Chains A and B, each alone.
Chain A
Amino acid sequence: QKEVEQDPGPLSVPEGAIVSLNCTYSNSAFQYFMWYRQYSRKGPELLMYTYSSGNKEDGRFTAQVDKSSKYISLFIRDSQPSDSATYLCAMSSNAGGTSYGKLTFGQGTILTVHP
């Protein structure tokens, strides 16, 4: 079983739709939760960062973390064609040792927003 599971999709939605992206994880030591967006032929770009449980909102993006369920979500409101990309969840424990500085990524979800 992978430490982080993410539905690879692909996910196709019309412009203006609300998009929900999700990841589950098995490592209870994860404390930092991130969402990255990756356009084709580019490196991942940090969208949202959350520490521990709770919600965080930034413009059209909302990140939710439920540590009791080991489940995180990213919601995109009023989706735009420019949101079409691969979305990666990532987690970190900063537990020290050889894991220090390590981000564990999900597989990525391919999102297409069509006009």
Chain B
Amino acid sequence: DAGVTQSPTHLIKTRGQQVTLRCSPISGHKSVSWYQQVLGQGPQFIFQYYEKEERGRGNFPDRFSARQFPNYSSELNVNALLLGDSALYLCASGRGQSSYGYTFGSGTRLTVV
């Protein structure tokens, strides 16, 4: 079975631009969560979506938004990029709303220049 798939793997953006990151969960998983991992730090929770509704939100500015589609895939959007948004963005999927048992993808490495 395919794991959690994230695209693109890497990308470079300029300050002020907008970016969209994509995630396909494991088949049968209805929950998708997004995390930001800055180099040398642990992942920080951004959003959780379950059954296409936002169920959890971390302490991130409104420049960050996400959505989940009927096939349970998800997109994370970041507007007005800042240098500090450079990080590894991780997507995790799970069967239910609970946070244990998540499976993480390999992430998208975003560099803002």
**A interface list, Cβ under 8 A from B:** 4, 6, 8, 32, 34, 36, 41-46, 49, 51, 88, 90, 92, 94, 98-108
Selected contact of B100 from candidates A6, A32, A41, CB within 8 Å: A32
B48–A43 contact, CB under 8 A?
no
Which residue of the partner chain B has the closest CB to A33?
B100
B43 to chain A, nearest CB (A): 5
Using A34-B100, A43-B107 as known contacts, say yes or no to A101 and B41 having CB atoms under 8 A apart: no
A45 to B103 alpha-carbon distance, docked (Å) = 7
A105 to B44 alpha-carbon distance, docked (Å) = 7
**B interface list, Cβ under 8 A from A:** 4, 31, 33, 35, 40-45, 48, 50, 55-58, 90, 92, 94, 97-107
A24 to chain B, nearest CB (A): 14
A46–B97 contact, CB under 8 A?
no
- For A49, what are the chain B residues with a Cβ–Cβ distance below 8 Å? 100-101
B40–A43 contact, CB under 8 A?
no
B45–A102 contact, CB under 8 A?
yes
Between-chain CB contacts (< 8 Å), 24 pairs: A8-B40, A32-B98, A32-B100, A44-B43, A44-B104, A88-B42, A88-B43, A90-B42, A92-B99, A92-B100, A94-B97, A98-B56, A98-B57, A100-B97, A101-B55, A101-B56, A102-B99, A103-B33, A103-B45, A104-B45, A105-B43, A106-B42, A107-B40, A108-B42
Selected contact of B103 from candidates A6, A46, A102, CB within 8 Å: A46
B99–A101 contact, CB under 8 A?
yes
Query: Across chains A and B, which 10 residue pairs bring their CB atoms closest together, nearest first?
Result: A105-B42, A43-B104, A101-B48, A92-B99, A101-B56, A102-B45, A100-B56, A32-B100, A101-B99, A98-B57
Which residue of the partner chain B has the closest CB to A102?
B45
B55–A103 contact, CB under 8 A?
no
Which residue of the partner chain B has the closest CB to A44?
B104
Known: A44-B90, A44-B104, A88-B43. 17 other contacts (CB 8 A): A4-B42, A32-B99, A41-B106, A42-B106, A45-B104, A49-B100, A92-B99, A94-B99, A98-B56, A98-B57, A100-B55, A101-B56, A101-B94, A102-B33, A102-B48, A102-B99, A105-B43
